[in-house]
Amino acid sequence: EVQLQASGGGLAQAGGSLRLSCAASGIDSDDYVIAWFRQAPGNKREGVSCINKREGIPLYADSVKGRFTISLDNAKNTVSLQMNSLKPEDTAVYYCAEDEPSNYCSLWDTHFSSFGRGTQVTVSS
């Protein structure tokens, strides 16, 4: 069973930075993808970024391009999301998700089979 543990959320001011981490365990396949999603109150869950293990090619939502950077530490099965130039509209609960076996990155939550518990990110104006 895949387990995903997200950490690193907190409070930041607009223009500030936060770094989220997702530690994954129980992954059986050599090919997998991990993504970050977020959900603000009253909103649908939104795909933020995704990366695949084989090529390490990232995918970003337009709303975070140029501000967020996703990275994968293969040895530790940990995915990080560096969030810079934060905006109040980035406020949400952030979740990491995993799918295997797969090399296909997506920002659609229906593509993913496992979701971890979220971590709250709050950006003040």
Q: What does the pLDDT average to over 24-36? A: 93
Residue 85 pLDDT > 90, yes or no?
yes
Contact by Cβ (8 Å): 33, 99: yes
- The Cα 104–Cα 87 span in angstroms is 29
Residues facing 122 on adjacent strands: 11
pLDDT at residue 75 in the model: 84
- Rounded to the nearest 5°, which phi and psi values hold at 89? -75, -5
Residue 76 pLDDT > 90, yes or no?
no
pLDDT band at 42 (very low <50, low <70, confident <90, very high): very high
pLDDT band at 112 (very low <50, low <70, confident <90, very high): very high
